[in-house]
Structure 1
Amino acid sequence: MKSIDEHIQKDKSELEAAKAAGDDAKVRHFEKELHSLEEYKEHHPGDSHDPTSLELHCEANPDADECRVYDD
């Protein structure tokens, strides 16, 4: 994806398709991903890039070991 907005729109389409197909696992996956993307967009309004899964994880879990940034 080129932007977070494109990713959100794609996930919304995929979510509707999963609901129509009755695929509960995909529904849960896309609902969680959409929530993370929308939360990221809300906290970074001037940033339109499509965040990686690590960026989304660190947004939700800033104290996780893999998200720590050390200053020397």
Structure 2
Amino acid sequence: MKTIDEHIQKDQEEFLKALSEHNDGKVRHLTEELQWLLDHKKQFPNDSHDPSPLELFCEQNPDEPECLVYDD
């Protein structure tokens, strides 16, 4: 996807489909991903790029080892 809005729309459609199919695992995954996307969009309203899963994860979990940045 090219923009965060496209990603949100796609995830919302997949969420509704997963709900109708009673796919609880996918519903949980999409609920979390949608929340992270909406949080990102709220935090960076002028940024329309589609953030990577790592970007979203690190915004929510900045102290995780894979998110730490070291200055040499």
TM-score w.r.t. the length of structure 1 is 0.93
Instruction: Name structure 2 gaps, 5 residues minimum.
Output: none
The within-5 A match list for 1:27-38 is 27-38=27-38
CA positional deviation for 1:71 = 2.1
Distance between the aligned counterparts of 2:36 and 2:71, measured in 1? Answer: 27
The within-5 A match list for 1:1-72 is 1-72=1-72
Distance between the aligned counterparts of 2:71 and 2:42, measured in 1? Answer: 27
Structure 1 stretches of at least 4 aligned residues deviating more than 4 Å after TM superposition: none
TM-score w.r.t. the length of structure 2 is 0.93
Distance between the aligned counterparts of 2:14 and 2:5, measured in 1? Answer: 14
Equivalent residue letter for 1:46: N
Equivalent residue letter for 1:54: L
Residue by residue, what CA displacement relative to the aligned partner does 1:16-56 show, whole Å, maximum 9, x if unpaired? 00011111111111111101110111111111100011000
**Structure 1 vs Structure 2: percent identity of aligned residues?**
57
For this pair of structures, how many residues does the alignment match? Answer: 72
CA RMSD of aligned residues (A): 0.9
